[in-house]
Amino acid sequence: MQALITGGAGFIGSHLAESLLADGAGVTVVDNLSTGYLKNVQHLLDHPRFRMVVETVTNEIVMDRLVAESDVVFHLAAAVGVELIVQDPVRVIETNVLGTRAVLKAAARYRRRVLLASTSEIYGKSEAIPFSEEADRVLGPTTKSRWCYSTSKAVDEFLALAYHQQIGLPVVICRFFNTVGPRQTGQYGMVVPRFVKQALREEPITVYGDGLQTRCFCDVRDTVRAVRTLAARTDINGEVFNVGATYEVSIVKLAECILEAVQRRGPGAQHRGKDRIQFISYAEAYGKGFEDMRRRAPDIRKINTLTGWQPEIPLKDTIEYILEDHLHGKAFTD
């Protein structure tokens, strides 16, 4: 099998590339390195079945060639992160919508299967928790850029499903819920790498809001396994699947867990504790009028029923996995 991974130098994409190569597949990664990093795939560059293409997915000529040479496309390229959404909404919208259009257009020409990465942001500020794939979406006004990412990914989904409905393009949509693990950067507001960096540097752990908002954090190894499980099924085209852990943890509890994990690792531990958690208002972090969701949790019965997949790695093990990566000098210093 020859796989194409858009955004393959990113966090999830690089782990997916490793997994596919380990099982004998050929892998081509296309990434413009705007939010992905060459360091993520540096160790793969000499692999005989790996190829790296530095280009944007909005380049239709390049995408046409790369899709033609592939058997399956994992479309992970996207502009992500709350800070990026607030600071550069033009980039978010254009990258997500135009990039997906280029991928689907080429896939339709060559009848290639596409697994499209979407997001739990799709559900907006709905309170119908846990979110099922058919749940209604509840969003804020267009005057708040906070909602442009959710909207752009919804357009991606609509477009992918339209290609499936009109011409039978084999498409599967995966809605990711807070995937975490090594190589994830805190540059655009990702909470776990930000907390880990602050804890290791003995800086205050900055929690936005009151910290009682809850999320479900899924280990990237579980996420990759879910994506590959869905890719192996040919009877689920045109379907949407939630992919995530179901254990909810408050953000302040997450900060405490990371501090405790760092505390177990050596000198200076006596200076690390709950008193190092610093609360910052959303207005201070993101600007006036920012909205966040109190809870976000997936209903994963659909993927579990059809494939048997469920997350297996507990959050405490994922935190240790991330710390090992940082302490061995492999992680970023952003």
pLDDT at 65 > cutoff 90: yes
pLDDT at 166 > cutoff 90: yes
Say if strands 171-176 and 239-243 run parallel, antiparallel, or are unpaired: parallel
Alpha helices in the chain (DSSP H): 11-22, 60-68, 82-87, 89-110, 148-167, 191-200, 220-231, 251-263, 282-286, 301-307, 315-327
Distances (CA, A) of 82 to 3, 145, 183, 186, 230: 29, 10, 18, 10, 27
In a domain, 223, yes or no: yes
What distance in Å separates the CA atoms of residue 34 and residue 78, rounded to the nearest whole number? Answer: 10
Q: How confident is the model at residue 146 (pLDDT cuts 50, 70, 90)?
A: confident
**Per-residue pLDDT tens for 307-319?**
999 999 999 999 9
Mean of all residue pLDDT scores within the chain? 91
The answer to whether the pTM exceeds 0.85 is yes
Q: What is the mean pLDDT of residues 26-31?
A: 98
pLDDT at 334 > cutoff 80: no
The per-residue pLDDT for 97 is 93
Contact assessment for residue 232 and residue 203, using Cβ atoms and an 8 Å cutoff: no
The per-residue pLDDT for 266 is 62
Length of the chain equals: 334
pLDDT at 112 > cutoff 80: yes
In a domain, 210, yes or no: no
In a domain, 115, yes or no: yes
Give me the active site residues, please: 149
Contact assessment for residue 3 and residue 25, using Cβ atoms and an 8 Å cutoff: yes
In a domain, 265, yes or no: no
Contact assessment for residue 198 and residue 143, using Cβ atoms and an 8 Å cutoff: no
**Per-residue pLDDT tens for 181-209?**
999 987 655 899 999 999 999 999 999 99
Q: Domain containing 104: what range?
A: 2-181+218-245+295-312
In a domain, 97, yes or no: yes
In a domain, 251, yes or no: no
In a domain, 142, yes or no: yes
Question: Residue 223 belongs to a domain with what CATH number?
Answer: 3.40.50.720
In a domain, 82, yes or no: yes
Structure tokens at 302: 């659909």
Contact assessment for residue 119 and residue 149, using Cβ atoms and an 8 Å cutoff: yes
**Per-residue pLDDT tens for 203-242?**
999 999 999 999 999 999 999 999 999 999 999 999 999 9
Per the structure, the count of domains in the chain is: 1
